[in-house]
Amino acid sequence: MGTMTDIAIIGAGPYGLSLGAHLSAAGLSVRVFGQPMHTWRTSMPEGMVLKSEGFASNLWHPDGALTLKDYCADHGLPYKDSGLPIPLQTFSDYGVAFQKRFVPMLDERWVTGLDRESNAFLLRLDDDEIVTAQRVVIAAGIRSFHYTPAELAALAGPLCSHSIEHHRLERFSGKRVLVVGGGASGVELAALMSKKGAQVTVAARRGRIPYCQPPRPRSLLERIQAPETGLGTGWRSVACVAAPMLFYQMPRDFRHLVVRKHLGPAPGWVSREEVEQNVNVLLGAKVDRACVRGAVASVTFRTSDGTEKVIDAEHVISATGFRVDMQRLNFINPRIMDRLALADQTPLLSPHFETSVPGLFMVGITAANNFGPLLRFAYGAGFTSDRLSRFLHQTTVRHSVAVKRNLTAA
């Protein structure tokens, strides 16, 4: 049957590592699978900086050990709680250091299959070993849920890709590149590609690009009117951070709407100068159709004034975001998938992150429609790890007591 563990965590990003650190500190039998910070290290563009402030970019240990501030101090790296953008490389390296210290049981093999037999889950690894677990937490990141609009389907192949697929950008030097999407991923990627020598055009549906504002001193009145949180400023963000369980009690349609609308994909201020000086920007433009003409991709936009605009490019990047769809997690056996209660292709969860399949839990972006926008961001790993680890510890204790009573009675 293979090796056994009580709890298996699939995914080793901020959520998987933070939860693993909590469970390990509680003395529970836990194994974490996946490569540490994989999406951050392989699917985010080199040179990127985080939108989140330093104080909101931690991984989470129950004792508050090894914050990003601690890591930067240990390595002589610049750091401020707010106002100083965190480089992607710093955050990725920090996550790996956190893993080595607090999640040494990490198994870097990939889970290729998840099934259930009797009262246990079976995890098939990429070398075909089977691991048995009583409970499983899926900490899937955003990569599985990248979304490309149907209007770009005709470009499927080497001329079109999603923004999540690019880490190194040198290959675009000297090429004409069209980025579809005026949010953070599109605009910031365009700025970085431009710096690498690409000739970039950004096409956005909105009439303007809503850049975040650069840091500046804020008056007491401003701080009262719009308090700062780990999700940004404003009382709505305060509510999302402070009351995820109140959010959980709200009507489903309201929750889903807030998750879609709150904290839109605004680009960071650090990309603004490069874009305004060296990137072509087409505003108020919606993709109408696309085709391949010889060796180039041709995309036709319908602009806000009703006219058409055609842009030819040697490569098109769809920076069109992410949409959770549980069917995209194709390692989950259909027998389990068929038992998952879903709403808008996202799982319905208990107050402790448990799905309709007993013993199977979801955290991170897949749980956002239940607990709010907080879980769309790494900052939400703190709330999640604390709440779920306490529940798993309590239920493990109860299970152990029940087993001992049965043995005594026998």
**Domains of the chain by range and CATH?**
3-145+322-409 (3.50.50.60), 150-211+266-318 (3.50.50.60)
Mean pLDDT of 196-204: 96
> What is the arithmetic mean of pLDDT over 100-122?
95
How many C-beta neighbours within 10 Å does residue 218 have? 14
φ, ψ of residue 316 in degrees (nearest 5): -115, 130
Mean of the pLDDT values across residues 115-141? 95
Question: Residue 398: what pLDDT?
Answer: 55
**Mean pLDDT estimate for the chain:** 92
Q: Are strands 360-362 and 130-138 parallel, antiparallel or unpaired?
A: parallel
The four Cα atoms 76, 80, 86, 89 give a dihedral, to 10 degrees, of: 20
Question: Given this model, what pLDDT does residue 402 score?
Answer: 45
CA 265 to chain centre: 13
> What is the maximal distance between C-alpha atoms in the chain?
81
User: What single-letter DSSP state applies at residue 50?
Assistant: -
Write the pLDDT tens digit of every residue in 283-342. Answer: 999 999 999 998 899 999 999 888 999 999 999 999 999 999 999 999 999 999 999 999
In this prediction the pTM is 0.92
**Per-residue confidence (pLDDT) for residue 166, from 0 to 100:** 93
Residue with tokens 């970019």: 57
Tokens representing residue 216 in the block: 């500046």
Written as six digits, the tokens of 125 are 């690894």
pLDDT the model gives residue 118: 83
What pLDDT is stored for residue 218 in this prediction?
Answer: 84
More confident residue, 13 or 231: 13
Phi and psi (nearest 5°) for 41?
Answer: -85, -20
State the Rg of the chain over Cα: 23
What is the rounded average pLDDT of the residues 362-384?
Answer: 96
Are the beta carbons of 292 and 136 closer than 8 angstroms?
A: no
Contact between residue 95 and residue 17 where contact means Cβ atoms under 8 Å apart: yes
Residue 400 binned pLDDT confidence (cut-offs 50, 70, 90): very low
Confidence of residue 66 (pLDDT cuts 50, 70, 90): very high
Q: How many CB atoms lie within 10 A of CB 281?
A: 18
More confident of the two residues 380 and 2: 380
Residues 6+ apart with CB under 8 A from 348: 341, 342, 355, 356, 370
Residues 6+ apart with CB under 8 A from 6: 28, 29, 30, 133, 134, 135, 396
What pLDDT does 410 receive? 45
What pLDDT, on a 0 to 100 scale, did the predictor assign at position 397? 57
Counting beta carbons within 10 angstroms of the beta carbon of residue 25, is it exposed (0 to 12), middle (13 to 18) or buried (19 or more)? middle
